[in-house]
Amino acid sequence: MTAHEIVAEGEETGASAYATEIEVRGHRILADEPVAEGGGNLGPNPYDLLTAALTACTAMTVRWYALRQGWPLERVKVVIRHRKGGPGAASPRQDVFEKCVTLTGPDLDDAQREKLLDVAAKCPVQRTLEGTPLILTRCED
């Protein structure tokens, strides 16, 4: 494993048709599909987790930048909505993530707010989603 490599393991639990326990860096996450999709709704589904990862990364990146600059950011709140297709999408199957960032800090000036919004659009997870990741799949017996 390299310094930047992350390993996540997932295994079915049997608690519902799709319930999967994921372990990553010593943390356990239970994922599942909603009842309407045949699951037991025992945890977030994969798109929920993807959207949550983008949300967390955005908030953490904004906070990191504000700390480095010594800017008076009191709180950052990020709301991301994920959908397939609709307004702005090139096709009905295109994934669309709408990101709304709220910056609280009465002493932040307009230039600082603008820079923090710019930084919010450059978080590592967003860059991964906008890039062309390579996913190699193999089977183990």
Using CA atoms, how far residue 128 sits from 49, 64, 124, 133, in Å, is 15, 18, 6, 7
Contacts of 100 by beta carbon, 8 Å cutoff, 6+ apart: 78, 79, 80
**pLDDT tens sequence across 33-52:** 999 999 999 999 999 999 99
Structural domain contains residue 8: yes
Residues 51, 35 share a domain: no
Using CA atoms, how far residue 127 sits from 34, 62, 67, 121, in Å, is 29, 14, 21, 8
Structural domain contains residue 139: no
Structural domain contains residue 138: no
Greater pLDDT, 4 or 36: 36
pLDDT band at 3 (very low <50, low <70, confident <90, very high): low
Beta strands in 32-111 (DSSP E): 75-84, 95-104
Residues 54, 10 share a domain: no
Tokens of 19: 């319930």
The parent domain of residue 32 ranges over 1-44
Residue 4's pLDDT is 83
CATH assignment of the domain containing 53: 3.30.300.20
Mean pLDDT of 87-102: 96
Full-model pTM: 0.93
Structural domain contains residue 72: yes
Question: Using CA atoms, how far apart are residues 79 and 59, in angstroms rounded to an integer?
Answer: 10
Residues 66, 25 share a domain: no
Residues 93, 60 share a domain: yes
**pLDDT tens sequence across 50-82:** 999 999 999 999 999 999 999 999 999 999 999
